Amino acid sequence: MTVHGDGYMSFIEIKDLTHIYHAGQENAKEALSKVSINVEKGEFVAVLGENGCGKSTLAKHINALLLPTDGCCIVDGMDTNDVTKVWDIRQQVGMVFQNPDNQIIASVVEEDVAFGPENLGIPRDEIKKRVDEALKAVDMERYRAFAPHLLSGGQKQRVAIAGALAMHTKCLVLDEPTAMLDPKGRSEVMSAVKKLNKEQGITIIYITHFMEEAAEADRVIVMEKGKIFAEGKPQEIFARVDDLKRLRLDVPLASAIAWNLKKQGIYIPDGIVQEEELVEALCQLK
Q: Provide the binding-site residues for other proteins, judged by CB under 8 A.
A: 60, 63, 65, 87, 90-91, 94-95, 97, 99, 101-108, 110-111, 114-124, 127-128, 131, 147-149, 160, 163-164, 167
Task: State which residue, 166 or 211, has the beta carbon closest to other proteins.
Answer: 166
**Other CB atoms within 10 Å distance of the CB of residue 247:** 18
Amino acid identity of residue 120, one-letter, is L
DSSP designation for 15 = E
* Per-residue exposure over 99-124, b if at least 16 CB sit within 10 Å of its own CB, e if not: ebeebbebeebbbbbbbbbeeeebee
- The least distance separating other proteins from the CB of residue 132, rounded to whole angstroms, comes to 11
- The least distance separating other proteins from the CB of residue 139, rounded to whole angstroms, comes to 21
Task: State which residue, 10 or 169, has the beta carbon closest to other proteins.
Answer: 169
Distance CA 164, CA 1 (A): 28
- The least distance separating other proteins from the CB of residue 200, rounded to whole angstroms, comes to 19
Count of CA atoms in the C-beta half-sphere (13 A) of 147: 3
- The least distance separating other proteins from the CB of residue 10, rounded to whole angstroms, comes to 22
Distance CA 79, CA 72 (A): 7
Task: State which residue, 152 or 235, has the beta carbon closest to other proteins.
Answer: 152
- The least distance separating other proteins from the CB of residue 42, rounded to whole angstroms, comes to 22
Distance CA 254, CA 258 (A): 6
- The least distance separating other proteins from the CB of residue 17, rounded to whole angstroms, comes to 18
5, exposed or middle or buried, with CB in 10 Å at 0-12, 13-18, 19+? exposed
Distance CA 116, CA 198 (A): 23
- The least distance separating other proteins from the CB of residue 161, rounded to whole angstroms, comes to 12
Task: State which residue, 55 or 240, has the beta carbon closest to other proteins.
Answer: 55
Task: State which residue, 94 or 252, has the beta carbon closest to other proteins.
Answer: 94
Task: State which residue, 65 or 261, has the beta carbon closest to other proteins.
Answer: 65
Task: State which residue, 9 or 105, has the beta carbon closest to other proteins.
Answer: 105
Instruction: Please spell the DSSP secondary structure of 158-220, one letter per residue.
Output: HHHHHHHHTTT-SEEEEESTTTTS-HHHHHHHHHHHHHHHHHH--EEEEE-S-HHHHTTSSEE
